[in-house]
Amino acid sequence: MKTLRMVFLFALLLTVSACNFLTTSDSSEKVEAEKESVDKSSTETATEVLFQEGTYKWEKDGEILGGLDITDPKADSFTFMLQAYDGQNVGELSGVAQVNGEMASFTHTENAACKVSFGWKEDRLTIDTSEACENLNENPISFTGVYTKIEVGNSSSPTEEEATEEANWQEALYINPTFEQGELTLSNVTKESFEFTFQISSDDQVGKMTGTATINGNEATFKDQEDPACSGTFVLSDDVISFNEDSCLNYHDAAVGFNGEYALSDEKPTATNETASCDKAPFHSELLQFAEQGHLKDASIFLGMSEEALKKLKPSMTFDEALYEGTPGFYDDSYSYLTADEKVSHLRYNALSEGPAVPYAEVVCQFGEPDEVVFNELDSEYLHVYYAGENKLSFVSDSKEGAIKAVALQTMTVQ
């Protein structure tokens, strides 16, 4: 209940702020200039300075306790609306306050004992209400507090969204036209890092380098693991990436280098499969080891385990008598274990539950072309199947060459 009421109060504050958005910056600057030179005896000038139109919040320890909206400020009065939150209660009080120098006051028309005074504590507005005002609502609630004005559209620091836009690293091909071929390819982009491939050539001079860069805002740094002297810095500005290398001569001929600016291109990389992992030959014989130690983690433990043993080891899992195409099994958010003939015969690991989908090109790069591609009509998904001894490993995607969203390991041994 407390959360719902806080959401309501936040919504009210934001709505009121939007209504006051038309206050111009020129007016604010004029008010601030007059505030420094004003004669405090002038009621009209003091009113313009001290009781400005806008939305104010009463906040304590990071929690919003109330909101104030001031509208129609004049030399001798202003209209206000107060809202306050206290535990389970939300109260409201509104009216027209009369200005007297640096202070303002309000007396409720229907209850003269309800009085409100407005004053200042440095640059914050202080509000004091009598006990009679607290009892106007269904449940007693106080509006007494210190309120700070909410500035609209006047932040000097970039918002989180703007900062994200400034550092929009994306999987794409970038071109440097100063080379006959000047390509920078980014892949596997996360919040922390990305993988890259440089391919450049001019006349008979060529260069190629792959690696992983660590992201820090709109900059990313790279240090080669095999040649520690080789390092570099990427700087992202709009859709252009600038790269500055240091001692990477082992990866390019003497007359060329990777330095320069690479602009975002709509083209696809000329060699999408030539990533760092593609330097290794496909290894069908090591598929099972990959499943046991990598994507499927505990596959070697569960595959072939009895149903009763699995119940004891994973008591939190849910059992379904027809989990997959009529086959009984257990499941949770990450795995499914099929139990045909009371033996665990099939495991399915959902890649998206622990990280982003894996590009199909990287799977082919690592394992070669699949032994077969099967379309599962029941789930409308493709299984890219590799056979490894008594087991088969299937990479699951929504299309023939779509990103891999899950990995399935199944024993071929007859139970």
pLDDT tens per residue, range 37-55: 434 444 444 445 568 888 8
Range list of β-strands (E), 130-278 = 145-149, 172-175, 181-187, 193-202, 205-216, 219-223, 231-237, 240-246, 260-265
pLDDT digits (tens, 9 = 90+) for 132-177: 888 887 778 888 888 888 875 444 444 444 444 457 898 889 999 8
197 pLDDT band (50/70/90 cuts)? very high
How far apart are the C-alpha atoms of 127 and 224, rounded to whole Å? 62
Residue range 47-78, pLDDT digits in tens? 455 688 888 888 877 677 888 888 888 888 99
Residue 252 to residue 234: CA distance in whole angstroms: 18
Residue 234 contacts residue 242 (beta carbons within 8 Å): yes
DSSP H or E stretch at residue 290: helix 287-293
**Locus of tokens 């099994």:** 329
Cα separation of 303 and 409, whole Å? 9
User: Could you identify the residue written with the tokens 């992202």?
Assistant: 236
Kindly state the tokens that stand for 87. Answer: 């535990």
Q: Name which residue leads in pLDDT, 220 or 377.
A: 220
Residue whose token pair is 């690991």: 349
Cα-to-chain-centroid distance, residue 165: 12
Q: Which pTM does this prediction carry? A: 0.33
Measured distance CA(6)–CA(12) in Å, rounded: 10
pLDDT for 95-144, tens place per residue? 999 998 888 999 999 899 999 999 987 778 899 999 888 888 777 888 88
Q: Specify the higher pLDDT residue, 118 or 386.
A: 118
From edge to edge, which strands make up the β-sheet containing 372-376? Answer: 318-324, 327-331, 335-338, 346-350, 406-411, 391-397, 381-388, 372-376
